[in-house]
A and B are shown apart, each in its own frame.
Chain A
Amino acid sequence: MPILSNADREYLSQVFAERLVDPVKIRLYTQKLTQLNIPGYECMTCRETNELMEELASLSDKIELETLDFLQVRQQAVREGITEIPAIVLEGKNKGKVRFIGVPAGYEFATLIEDMIDVSRGTTKLQPLSREILGKLARPVHIQVFVTPT
């Protein structure tokens, strides 16, 4: 049974058709369902996240989904700063790195959709002064926003 309702799929298809400009890649570090579970490495939300990302990717030709098994590509994941799964890395016209750790459910699902659109367009709704300040940052900076689904 799909995670997204028919109404949600219809709405999101329309949003993506209207607002996605260039392709967006979702790189999903996860636990594939076909492998044996290794004690201590069970991922409680990977199945749900896998299904949700597959459903999203099916709603627009501009969304590409790359699904990687965390344990099989661990070195690549570590190079990318991924130490927990499920982890979503968005790639498009973004200048920095945009990542979601854990299932993007509840309010964060809307954040994911908005970020996909921003990444596709390479622009945001930030004020011009904010963009100017960000463009002049002297050092790399890591921003972590901790949330819960409710």
Chain B
Amino acid sequence: MMAVESDKVTADVVEVSEFPHIAQRYRIYAVPKVVIDETLEFEGARPEEAFIAAVESVAGGPAEEGGSSRGDDGR
């Protein structure tokens, strides 16, 4: 849904059981797993607000220029 609303968002739904190399690359041990810009990841469903906050922490909003507030899952 986020990619429908923003031209900045590319959203992929990846059926990972077909692509073992992707599962290995992203260390998929449980689904759903979300990876945002290769920098922030989390497993399991999250409420809309938390998901949006995670995206904002990576892609930056006007109040957080530079994406300085990576979430707890950030690496």
Contacts and interface: CB of A to CB of B under 8 A. Distances in A.
Contact of A95 (B3, B22, B65): B3
Interface stretch (A4-12, A31-39, A66-74, A114-122): A114-122
B1 A118 contact: yes
Nearest to A105: B15
Interface in A113-138: 115, 118-119, 122-127, 129-131, 133-138
A102 B5 contact: no
B6 A95 contact: yes
A30 to B, nearest CB: 13
A140 interface: yes
B55 A99 contact: no
A126 B4 CA distance: 10
B10 A137 contact: no
Contact of A84 (B17, B19, B48): B19
Contact of B5 (A44, A115, A126, A140): A126
A131 B18 contact: no
A54 to B, nearest CB: 19
Given A141-B8, A142-B10, A146-B28, 4 more contacts: A96-B4, A124-B4, A141-B58, A149-B15
